[in-house]
Structure 1
Amino acid sequence: MALNSINTNAGALIALQNLNSTSSELATVQQRISTGKKIGSAKDNGAIWATAKNQSATASSMNAVKDSLQRGQSTIDVALAAGDTITDLLGKMKEKALAASDTSLNTSSFNALKADFESLRDQVTKAATNAKFNGVSIADGTTTQMTFLANTDGSGFTVSAKTLSLAGIGLSITSTFANATAAKTMIASISTALETATNKLASLGTSSTGLDTHLTFVGKLQDALDAGVGNLVDADLAKESARLQSLQTKQQLGIQALSIANSSSAAILGLFR
Structure 2
Amino acid sequence: MTTINTNVKALFVRNALQANEASLTSAMQQLSTGKRINSAKDDAVGLAISTRMTQQIRALDQAVRNANDAISMVQTTEGATQEITTMLQRMRELAIQAMNDTNANDQRSYLDLEFQQLKQQIVQISSNTEWNGFPILNGTAGQQVGPVPVFKTVANGQLSTDLTYAAGGITTSNAGTIATGGTGTLAKSGSLAMTVAATGTAVNATLTMEDGNQITFAGSFSNKIITFTN
TM-score, length-normalised on structure 2?
A: 0.55
Q: Is 1:17 paired with 2:15? A: yes
* Distance 1:144-1:22 versus aligned 2 partners, 3 A rule: closer
Q: Give secondary structure in 1 for the equivalent of 2:135.
A: coil
Query: What are the residue-to-residue correspondences of 1:79-228 with 2, within 5 Å?
Result: 79-144=77-142
TM superposition shift of 1:147: 6.3
Distance 2:110 2:19 in 1: 97
2:46 & 2:77 partners in 1: Cα distance? 47
Given that 2:80 and 2:125 are in contact with CA atoms closer than 8 Å, whether structure 1 keeps it comes out as: yes
Call closer, same or farther: CA 1:59–1:53 in 2, change over 3 Å. Answer: same
**2:43 is aligned with what amino acid?**
N
Letter matched to residue 41 of structure 1: S
Q: Which has the larger radius of gyration?
A: 1
Which segments of structure 1 move beyond 6 Å, counting only runs of 4 or more? 145-148
Spell out, residue by residue over 1:43-76, the C-alpha distance to the aligned partner (whole angstroms, 9 max, x if none): 2211111221222223223443334323322221
Return 5+ residue gaps in structure 1 as ranges: 149-273
- Cα offset for 1:15? 3.0
Q: Is the 8 A contact 1:93 1:120 kept in 2?
A: yes
Asked whether the equivalents of residues 89 and 120 of structure 1 are also in contact (C-alpha less than 8 Å), the reply is yes
Q: Does 1:29 align with 2:20?
A: no
- C-alpha RMSD over aligned residues: 2.6
Deviations 1:126-176 (A, max 9, x none): 11222211233342222458868xxxxxxxxxxxxxxxxxxxxxxxxxxxx
Rounded to whole Å, the distance in 2 between the matches of 1:132 and 1:22 is 64
Maintained 8 Å contact 2:134/2:144: no
Q: More strand by proportion, 1 or 2?
A: 2
Partner AA of 1:97 in structure 2: A
What letter corresponds to residue 73 of structure 2 in structure 1?
T
State the 1:112 CA deviation. Answer: 1.1
Which of 44, 47, 58 is the matching residue for 2:45? 47
1:211 corresponds to which residue?
none
Distance 1:20 1:106 in 2: 105
The CA distance in 2 between the partners of 1:127 and 1:82, in whole Å, is: 7
Matched-pair contact (CA < 8 Å) for 1:41–1:49: yes
Q: Distance in 1 between matches of 2:15 and 2:65?
A: 56
Contact 1:138/1:145 (8 A) holds in 2: no
Following the alignment from structure 1 to structure 2, what is the Cα–Cα distance between the partners of residues 67 and 61? Answer: 10
Distance 1:118 1:20 in 2: 88
Bigger RCO of structures 1 and 2 (CA < 8 A, at least 6 apart): 1
Question: Which structure dedicates a bigger proportion of its chain to helix?
Answer: 1
Percent identical pairs in the alignment equals 27
In structure 1, C-alpha distance between the alignment counterparts of 2:141 and 2:20, rounded to whole Å: 69
Closer, same or farther: CA 7–57 of 1 in aligned 2, 3 Å: same
The number of aligned residues is: 144
